[in-house]
Structure 1
Amino acid sequence: MSSSQCSPVVPQELMVEILSRVPVKDLMRLRCISKWLNTLVFDPTFVKLHLQKSSKNTHILLTFRDYENDESRYCAAPCSLQNLLHNPSSTVDVCHRFNHDYTILGVCNGLVCLQDSYRGDEFEEYWVQFWNPSTRLMGEDSPHIRIRSGDHNYPYLFMFGFGYDDWSDSCWRNTLTCDAFPALSVHGAYVCGHLNWLALPKCGPGYRWGTVTINELEIFSYDLKNEKCRYLSMPDGLSEVPSDVPVLEVLKGCLCLSHHQGTCFVVWIMREFGVAKSWTLLLNVSYEDLHIRVLHGLPALPVILCLSQNDDVMLLASYDTAEFILYNKKDNSIDGRELFNDDKFFFFSYDFVQSLVLPYRN
């Protein structure tokens, strides 16, 4: 019997199914084995299949600004949730430092949206570029948006956001023009096909935070698929305006709001997007318990970086002590603290999925 008769033949459909479950890093290495594999890895149908099979809520993209040689640049560290919880300082050390002063607008389907800009006396220009940390591929500059410098006198008259409409494969699409509203956050938080900004719809430009009332604080939400806008209610337990502007972000695929409340750090999470009753108090801990100083009545607001799978343990970054704090909500105790270099600041985290999505048209 010949060897060809003994060799099993794996159907191509089965091969594709198996490969769709292989991590991105390994797939990139396999490209050199054959022309078929090299073509398959970036085939649009396979890319979508691989994205569907990729594990969700297991990876984080940690971003921060870092001073080096008297120059500040954004850095990004893609990492597993487990590694970040157990070795946060080591995770930060293994990062990608951008060679240009980008602003990170958001993360979606494994792509990072980087914004660049030019500001002159007569006009301002803005453009974006996409980067895939898993494949290490970078796209080209997008078309530029030009705005005359005299067209606005309010800092947040225009906002940016990065999201994805899974009903359309178009890279760019015209959307409706929304009514103007004073936003408290420049970059939209992307959740369930919606971009969200903290806003003051009942206040005009030139507001003072000290004069804001609780009924004026809302979340402006834009539906990318249906091209509709609406306002989401704040948590019912938020009975007074926080002493400082709250932070709106995404945690494990849910909208999350963190703020000061007296001498405590408070975190809310919207378990079911768009449902006001699903707002849940995730954390209410005193700064004393976190060992964070309160100077002049206002502490440095900690930053939420990630939450364990069972929601019991939360990793925070404290600028006051330049430490990562591992806080156990179940036991109301600190499980660990790790120092980070004080030349690192503006920590932020994004839900991240390892993908083969190209940062440019194939």
Structure 2
Amino acid sequence: MGYITADSKIVSFNLREEKFQEEVPFPNPPPRSGYYESVEIGAIGGCLCICFEPIDSGFRIWVMKEYGVKESWTEVLKISREVLPKDYVLQSRPLSILENGEVLLNLHNNVLALYNPKRKTFRTVVQTHDDQWLNTAIYVETLVSPATGCGVGM
């Protein structure tokens, strides 16, 4: 659970220089102040994304199409609580938006599901037992070394 205020900020950290950099603006309009089931920051399709899940409403995914440009925030998905199957607790982390428009989500850390926004349906891909967590990560193939910031052999 998290709390957002009008003064909440997204701050970036440069791994190469090991220092904090500029503040990234919130989507406009910014989320309202209050408690949230979850607030997740990540990347979808190579773009910064932020996911809000207010306690009293559905789940929203915003993507910043042009990094650092406030006007480029676009709401790409809104899922209402009524659409969720009864055994799902939202607390979602989006992993990817597929070419067919479906969204791959990690739900409550024990369900990997595909959400079809056109049909407003969920399909479980993997589900663990309640006491087991499902850890997920997105792999992006690259020749850039995270240690040096340079391509292999450079």
Normalized against structure 1, the TM-score is what?
0.34
Aligned mates of 1:302, 1:236 — CA distance in 2: 22
Q: Deviation at 1:326?
A: 1.1
2:137 matched to which residue of 1?
349
Q: Deviation at 1:248?
A: 0.7
Asked if the contact 1:247/1:257 (under 8 Å) is kept, the reply is: yes
2:81 matched to which residue of 1?
287
The one-letter amino acid of 1:306's match is: S
**Cα-to-partner distance string for 1:139-184 (whole Å, 9 max, x where unaligned):** xxxxxxxxxxxxxxxxxxxxxxxxxxxxxxxxxxxxxxxxxxxxxx
Q: Deviation at 1:352?
A: 1.1
Distance 1:336 1:293, change over 3 A: closer
1:265 matched to which residue of 2?
59
Coordinate RMSD, CA, aligned: 3.3
Asked if the contact 1:270/1:279 (under 8 Å) is kept, the reply is: yes
Q: Percent identity?
A: 20
Aligned mates of 1:228, 1:218 — CA distance in 2: 13
Q: Which has the higher strand share?
A: 2
Distance 1:238 1:292, change over 3 A: farther
2:91 matched to which residue of 1?
301
**Structure 1 segments unaligned to the other structure (5+ residues):** 1-208
Q: Which has the higher helix share?
A: 1
The alignment covers a number of residue pairs equal to 144
1:234 to 26, 30, 40: 26
Asked if the contact 1:242/1:259 (under 8 Å) is kept, the reply is: no
2:49 to 256, 276, 287: 256
**Higher relative contact order, chain-length normalized (CA < 8 Å, sep 6+):** 1
The one-letter amino acid of 1:340's match is: Q
Distance 1:236 1:302, change over 3 A: same
Asked if the contact 1:252/1:351 (under 8 Å) is kept, the reply is: no
Distance 1:230 1:346, change over 3 A: farther
Distance 1:259 1:346, change over 3 A: farther
Q: Deviation at 1:265?
A: 0.9
1:340 matched to which residue of 2?
127
Asked if the contact 1:259/1:301 (under 8 Å) is kept, the reply is: no
**Structure 2 segments unaligned to the other structure (5+ residues):** none
Aligned mates of 1:271, 1:356 — CA distance in 2: 22
2:106 matched to which residue of 1?
317
Aligned positions of 1:11-50 closer than 5 A: none
